Structures are given as C-alpha cells and as structure tokens.
Amino acid sequence: MLVILSVPLKKRNLDTYMDIHRTSDVFPNKVLQPTQFASDLNIYTKTKSHKWKTVADVKEPINVKESHRSFTSKLTCDVLETFGDYGSKQKSVKVTDEDKNAYTVSQILGKGGFAKVYRLHDRDDDLMAIKIIAKRTLTKPEKRDKVAREIDIHRRLQHRNVVEFIKHFQDEKFVYLVMEFCGTMTLSSILKTRQTITECEVRYYLQQILAGCKHIHSHGIVHRDLKLSNLLINDHMVLKIADFGLSTILKGHYDKKESICGTPNYISPEVIQKSGHSYPADVWAVGCIVHALMSGRPPFETQTLKDTYKMISKGKYTEPSHASVNARHFVKSCLQVQPTHRPDMAELEKSGFLTDGFIPPSLPLSAANSTPQFADGQGRKEQLDGRGNKIISAVEYFIETIEDQVICAEGGKDPSLVDQSVVFENKQLLVAIQTCFQKIKVTIYTHVSVVTINKFPKSNPPQSHKTKNCLWITKWVDYSHKYGFGFQLSNKIYGASLTDGCNIAVSTDKGHVGLQHSTHKELVECRTSDLPDAYQRILKMMNYFVKYMDEALIIGGQIADSTKEVSRKPLVTEKNGLSSIYILHWLRTKECIVICLSTGTVQANFFNDHTKLVVSRVGAEDYKLMYINTKRSISVFDLSEIAQSGLTEEIKVRFHYLMLQLSIILDRYT
C-alpha cells in the first residue's frame, strides 16, 4: 500500500501553500509518520478536517523541519508527472495490461476529481479514452471502494447514449479504466460557445439524455451527477452520458440513499435535506440541464452556495421569458420540490415538449459553434428565437457559474456553504458602499454617457497620460469557495477578503497590517508584530495569499516608474490607512471579472485576451481610465477628455461593457 507525505510543490495553486504549512500547524516541533490521505485537493477538502493521521505500520519517521523539497521528493509520481499535462507538457507513455497488451497514452482530455483522462491507442492504432487514477490517492478503504463501485456500475451499462466501458487494469502505481473515445466536446463547452441553444436542438439532446437515463435506471442505478460537463458529444453529434464516480445501486424500488452527493447547481432538495434520494434526483438534474441550455445558466444559480441551496430547497427559480409553454412545463415538472411529484424518464419522453415540437434527426458538427440551418424550414422560428435568446442571456448572465465543485460527503455531513461575496451587515458601511458606487457611476455618466460612447470618433483618440497616482490591481487569486479573494495593488499593498467576512491589507514590507470585519465596527491597524493574538489566524491566512501571489503570479501590466514612486510613499497614514483598503464587491461574467475597491477603483479583467480596463479615482472628483492591452502596455486617459476626443474601438467596447456591469452592481445595492 502506498502512502503520501505531503502535497507536491509542483502543484502550483494556493492549496499547495496551505497544505505545506498546515503540517507544522497541527504537529509543531514533532516527528511525523508518513500520512495517508487522498492527494487530490478537491477530495481532501471533503474530509471536513485538516488533522493528519499517523500510520502505525511505517518504519522511518519524517521530521517536519526538513526542507520541503526533500520532504516531497519521497512521494511517488502523480498522474500528470507520469503521463503529461496540457501544452508543452504532453507526453507519450507506454502501458501494458495483465494480458501483455501494449497501449500508448498520449494527449490529456480532461481532469476530474482525483483522476485524469487521456487519449489511448492500442497496437492497431484504435482510439480509446483512458481514465487514470494514482494508487496513492486510494490509501483509504472508502476511496478504493469508490473506484471499485464505479467500475462495477459502468461495466453493467451498454447503451448508445452511455459512454462504453471497455476494460480496466492496474500496475504498481496506477489504476486504469479504458472507455470509448467520445471526442472533446461536451454540452458545457457547446453552451459556453453558443450561450443559449434553440428549443429544437434542446429536444435533440434531451431525447438522448432521457434514453440514456432510462437505461441507467433500468439497472437500478442512480447517476447522481448529471450535468452539462458529464454529457459528452462525439463527432457524429451523438450524446453520451459519462462519469459514474458518484453513481450508486439501489437495492430495491423503495431504497433511498442519504449521502450528500452531486454538484451544487444540480443537487435536488431531498439530497440537501438528507431525506433520502433515488431516481427522482436524476430527474431534477435533467430539469436543471434543460433550463441551462435554454437560458444560459442553471435555474438556481446565485452568487453563493448558501443562497443556491435555499433556492433549491424552496424550488424557487425564474423561468426563461423566451421559452415556449411546453418547455416551461417540462422544466417545472422536473423541478418539483417533492420527489414523488416528478415524472420518471419514460413519462418525460411523452411530454408535450418532445411530442409536439420539431426534433431534427441529426445535427451538423457546426452546431457546436453556431445555430444550425434546417433546409426544410422546420425550426426556423426557433432559430430566430435563439438569436434573441443569445442577446437576453448576455445581459442576464452576469454571475459566473458556481465553481463546478463536486460535493460528496458519504458520511452524511452537511455540505459546505461558502459565501463568495462580501456581505456587509454594518448599516454605516452599506451606506458607504452605496455612496461610493453612486459617485463612480455619476462621474462616469457625467463625462461619458452610453449614447456618447456609441458616437465616439473613430480617430483622434485622447493622449495617454502617465500612470502616476492611478491605483489598480496587478495580481489576484480567487479561492472564495474555500479561503477568500486575494489581490495585490499597483502600490504593492496586499489585500484579501476572506470567506468569514474579514478584510485585511498588508504593507509591502509586511510590517504593517490593517484589518476590519464586515459584521464589526472595530478597525485594527498596527504593526504586524503588535497584532493581537485573536487576529493571528487571519494574518496567517493572508500570508498564504501573499506567498502564492509572489511565487506563482506575474504582474498584470508593465508598471511605469511613476507608479513605483507612489509605492515608495508611506503606506499607512491617519487619513487613508490599510484598514480602509478592501473589496466592496466583485463578480464574474462569462467575459471578465469586475472588481470594485473601497479606494474608488473599478477594474475589469477580460479572460479571453487578458486585457484590463480600470477606472481609477486619483482625487476627490477626478477619475482616470487605464487600459492594459494584450502586450501588457498601459495607456491612461482623463475621463473628461474622452467625450471630446473619443477612444479606439477595442477600448470603447470594453468600456461600454464595464459600465453595464457597474450599473448592474449598483442596482443590487439600491
């Protein structure tokens, strides 16, 4: 049996820094035995405890004071190190099964909870997919049982709309599950490109989902993790249900499971309430999938998991205004709070949504990127509706999907309800937020209205100024589902908004700290060495963010010398101390992340091309617009000059989008 001592340093994410330091937190100045726990970070968080258990049957103890490099060098190679990762880290590795059949593992296809999926070729060059699990993640009996259950369940299923299970084998380090190759498309990737899908296409995919689910249920199996990313689409546009890692077998028609299992946006009320679930839990997920395909997002998606679960428990959601009556009725029938009130898969196949509407016999491969054209004219109305849907979705969809974090607490523990936004209970602070937002919006719209933007001259843009006195975010890390949201400003100050509502800022030299809690009036601002013991845990958490940003992130723009001069000014003053620097609000859209700081800075980082647009307050009423292009070069303009001089097209489009998001944020506080 393999054991694991720590998380490899090569996993460059914030959890790496957390787990390394957590060792000495739990066992200060002690000698540790090698520990047993799943190495995958997503699984490790499900244990609800950060205490490491020692193993009695090992011979050589390891001292936690030795260097991290030598400490982690004793670990076995993980899947990515052995078989490769995306991009330049791709490899071609030979593996052999128990019958001496040789295979070649090549390009990675995807990363799951604690497994990775790759392309696989046999001696005849037949293409398959292989799911690889490191044995070091299976040191606990429940983990081994989980893999065995997945194999047992998947091998029972043989259906056109279920990914075919071919075989499994293992070697000294890994367990291999060989499956049918279905390409790289999923309904999730298609929806990301298309934003919404026409109803005739939804029916095309839905009839395949129902057929596959009906086959699964006929074997006494509940999938328990139906979602867009687990619905694969092959090159013939045939849908395949995948990933049976959370599936279970019912002992009888009345058997129910009470474990909390699934993905937040698709979990049914009975799963959350631990009242016992079975086949209707999959029906609920189908309703969520259909709603997402038509509207662009799942029906119960909110900013926070807590609010999502509240909405699910009440069965409260907004119907897509553009959906047909039959479509709404279908979704409503699936999303009944009482599982006994939901139809089964066979009954759903007979619903008016499927029987009364046009279902194309096939879809072209181009439907993954654009609305298909039907030569016979059928579905024409839905094509036109779909274009309207796309516009509606672009406006409505201003909160990114809750991170696709699978929750599986087999022990029946409550799911972690992590708030991803900053919630201010202090009324005075709420007023300050509203005032700040109002000033920003009024200032922007005074100089540049939406109408003005649309009439910007195409030439003669304003001259760029120096970045002096402009304050913006150069680095950020979003771990709000576990720890919080961390950032670094252009003046080198670090900050973080933690999940418990605390805001903290640290000076460049780490010598000063400012701290406040959204539920308390008390502000703490002092030297780091003088910070009261009650806040040491918060400071330690902040240090994890600082270490990660320093070692793993690059600066998001080329900071000019004038900005460096600003950073050399005193970092703590009576008028504007560290405790006054925090995030008022942030949100993600499909296009960008928008961050609003207490300093008056509003910033949008666009994901597609990594450009950034910043509105920075440099005085009581003076605002500057900063644009960072794809080459990380910075241009700065006075807002007052823009209306007269105009902007380039690339800045104009981004500025228009930022103002739309700012208006949405402000509306939520008024």
- For residue 153, is pLDDT > 50? yes
- Final residue before a domain boundary, out of 160, 180, 200: 180
- Final residue before a domain boundary, out of 357, 382, 409: 409
- Binding site: which residues? 135
Would you state the pLDDT for residue 445? Answer: 53
Please give the helix or strand (H or E) that residue 266 lies within, else none. none
Co-location of 24 and 154 in the same domain: no
Co-location of 279 and 300 in the same domain: yes
C-alpha separations of 207 from 184, 233, 293, 351 in Å: 21, 14, 14, 11
Buried b (16+ CB within 10 A) or exposed e, 276-313: ebbbbbbbbbbbbbbbbbbbbbbbbbbbbbbbbbebbe
The CA distance from 142 to 127, in Å, is 32
Q: Which residue from 501, 500, 473 is spatially nearest to 488, judged by alpha carbons?
A: 473
Co-location of 137 and 269 in the same domain: no
Co-location of 56 and 161 in the same domain: no
Average pLDDT for 100-127: 87
Query: Looking at the domain assignment, is residue 575 inside a domain?
Result: yes
- For residue 461, is pLDDT > 90? no
Co-location of 596 and 456 in the same domain: yes
- Final residue before a domain boundary, out of 409, 435, 463: 409
Please count the other Cβ atoms lying within 10 Å of the Cβ belonging to residue 431: 12
Co-location of 171 and 189 in the same domain: no
Q: Which two tokens stand for residue 639?
A: 């807002």
DSSP state of 337: S
Q: Which two tokens stand for residue 93?
A: 């590795």
The structural domain count of the chain equals 4
**Cα dihedral 34, 38, 44, 46 in deg (nearest 10):** -130
The CA distance from 34 to 6, in Å, is 8
Q: How confident is the model at residue 530 (pLDDT cuts 50, 70, 90)?
A: confident
Would you state the pLDDT for residue 174? Answer: 92
Q: Which two tokens stand for residue 246?
A: 């959370």
pLDDT in tens, 19-63: 434 333 333 333 333 333 233 323 333 333 333 333 333 333 333
Query: Looking at the domain assignment, is residue 278 inside a domain?
Result: yes
pLDDT in tens, 207-239: 999 999 999 999 999 999 999 999 999 999 999
- For residue 265, is pLDDT > 50? yes
Q: Are 263 and 282 in contact (CB under 8 A)?
A: no
The CA distance from 357 to 326, in Å, is 9
Would you state the pLDDT for residue 281? Answer: 96
DSSP state of 277: B
Would you state the pLDDT for residue 193? Answer: 92
Co-location of 548 and 451 in the same domain: yes
Pick the more confident residue, 19 or 641. Answer: 641
Q: What is the CATH number of the domain that holds 481?
A: 3.30.1120.30
**What residues form DSSP beta bridges with 638?**
624
Co-location of 230 and 375 in the same domain: yes
Would you state the pLDDT for residue 237? Answer: 94
Query: Looking at the domain assignment, is residue 7 inside a domain?
Result: no
Please count the other Cβ atoms lying within 10 Å of the Cβ belonging to residue 430: 14
Please give the helix or strand (H or E) that residue 152 lies within, else none. helix 141-154
Would you state the pLDDT for residue 501? Answer: 79
Residues near 124 by beta carbon (within 8 Å), at least 6 away in sequence: none
Q: Are 83 and 93 in contact (CB under 8 A)?
A: yes
Query: Looking at the domain assignment, is residue 4 inside a domain?
Result: no
C-alpha separations of 499 from 335, 451, 481, 532 in Å: 30, 39, 8, 20
DSSP state of 303: S
- For residue 204, is pLDDT > 90? yes
Co-location of 147 and 174 in the same domain: yes
Q: Are 483 and 498 in contact (CB under 8 A)?
A: yes
Would you state the pLDDT for residue 392? Answer: 31
pLDDT in tens, 400-444: 222 333 444 434 434 333 333 444 344 444 555 555 555 555 555
Q: How confident is the model at residue 446 (pLDDT cuts 50, 70, 90)?
A: low
Would you state the pLDDT for residue 90? Answer: 73
Would you say how long the chain is, in residues? 670
The CA distance from 429 to 435, in Å, is 10
Q: What is the CATH number of the domain that holds 91?
A: 3.30.200.20
DSSP state of 173: S
Co-location of 268 and 344 in the same domain: yes
pLDDT in tens, 321-350: 788 889 999 999 999 999 999 999 999 999
Would you state the pLDDT for residue 179? Answer: 95
- Binding site for ATP: which residues? 135
Residues near 320 by beta carbon (within 8 Å), at least 6 away in sequence: 291, 294, 295, 327, 328, 389
Would you state the pLDDT for residue 260? Answer: 86
Pick the more confident residue, 18 or 393. Answer: 18
Helix axes 280-295, 380-396, angle to 10 degrees: 90
CA angle in degrees (0–180, nearest 5) for 331-334-339: 155
The CA distance from 585 to 548, in Å, is 22
Please give the helix or strand (H or E) that residue 295 lies within, else none. helix 280-295
Co-location of 122 and 203 in the same domain: no
Report the predicted TM-score, pTM, of the whole model to 2 decimal places. 0.51
Residues near 273 by beta carbon (within 8 Å), at least 6 away in sequence: 313
pLDDT in tens, 555-574: 655 544 333 433 333 333 33
Sheet holding 231-233, edge to edge: 185-186, 231-233, 239-241
Q: What's the count of helices (H) and strands (E) in the chain, helices before strands? A: 20, 27
φ, ψ of residue 67 to 5 degrees: the values are: -65, 150
Query: Looking at the domain assignment, is residue 3 inside a domain?
Result: no
Query: Looking at the domain assignment, is residue 1 inside a domain?
Result: no
Query: Looking at the domain assignment, is residue 421 inside a domain?
Result: no
| Strand 165-170 versus strand 174-180 pairing type | antiparallel
Q: Which residue from 574, 596, 421 is spatially nearest to 497, judged by alpha carbons?
A: 421
Co-location of 597 and 489 in the same domain: yes
Domain residue limits at 124:
79-180
Lowest mean pLDDT, pick from 145-159, 202-216, 386-400, 602-616: 386-400
The CA distance from 417 to 483, in Å, is 12
Q: Are 211 and 153 in contact (CB under 8 A)?
A: no
Would you state the pLDDT for residue 155? Answer: 94
Would you state the pLDDT for residue 553? Answer: 74
φ, ψ of residue 169 to 5 degrees: the values are: -155, 180
Q: What is the CATH number of the domain that holds 332?
A: 1.10.510.10
Buried b (16+ CB within 10 A) or exposed e, 480-503: bbebbbbbbbbbbbbbbbbbebbb
Query: Looking at the domain assignment, is residue 420 inside a domain?
Result: no
